[in-house]
Amino acid sequence: MTNVIYILPIILIFVGVGLLFVLMIRLSALLVMPWGAPYVPCKEENRELIRTMIREKKRVLDLGSGDGRVVADLAAENETVHGYEINPFLVWKSRTTLRKAGLSGKTRIFRRNFWNCDLGEYDAVCVYGISYMMERLEKKLLSELPAGATVVSVGFRFPNWQPVRNEGAVWLYEKG
């Protein structure tokens, strides 16, 4: 009985901290929604397609990198992989995940609003966007990325750019 008295408060503290963390992520998502898409984890099958579509690139960028799983996946076969994420709690989570995986030297997560950044240094970009941002993002990518750059979009297509490959909800684009 005395063990239960000591263990129960510890369990309640862990549950409380976990619920607080989830609440903070959800609330912070509401604050960043006007600038981009809400956080939705990428499905494993889509992450596998992203890995096959983006290979052996020098500089890869995940726009709205969320929890960093796509960045970690892409680090296996690409030289340098960066993530831009506006949600501070997801930035912290993804940096922690990448550090624990030993990928800190090859990856980096920036707390940035990608609308205010020049994307011209990247030769591949991945994005899991949302419908209302795709037309504006298409224009930004076409004007800033170098010729030959690869773009993978998950969930939503660009309205005018024709994909060179499509599998399910994943589209591959190449800038001519």
pLDDT-wise least confident of 5-19, 57-71, 85-99, 101-115:
5-19
Query: Residue 31 in contact with residue 135, Cβ under 8 Å?
Result: no
pLDDT, tens digit, 9 for 90 and up, residues 48-91: 999 999 988 999 999 999 999 999 999 988 999 999 999 999 99
Q: 106 Cβ partners below 8 Å, 6+ apart?
A: 75, 79, 80, 81
19 or 79, higher pLDDT:
79
Task: Record the pTM.
Answer: 0.79
pLDDT, tens digit, 9 for 90 and up, residues 116-156: 999 999 999 999 989 999 999 999 999 999 999 999 999 99
Residue by residue, DSSP assigns the chain as -HHHHHHHHHHHHHHHHHHHHHHHHHHHHHHHGGGSPPP-PPPHHHHHHHHHHS-S-SEEEEET-TTSHHHHHHHTTSSEEEEEE--HHHHHHHHHHHHHTT-TTTEEEEE--GGGS--TT-SEEEE---HHHHHHHHHHHHHHSPTT-EEEEESS--SSSPPSEEETTEEEEE--
Q: How far is 27 from 164, CA to CA, in rounded Å?
A: 38
Q: How far is 28 from 44, CA to CA, in rounded Å?
A: 25
The dihedral formed by the CA atoms of 128, 133, 139 and 144, expressed in degrees to the nearest 10: -50
The order of strands in the sheet holding 107-111 is 107-111, 80-85, 59-63, 124-127, 150-154, 170-174, 165-167
Q: How far is 154 from 49, CA to CA, in rounded Å?
A: 10
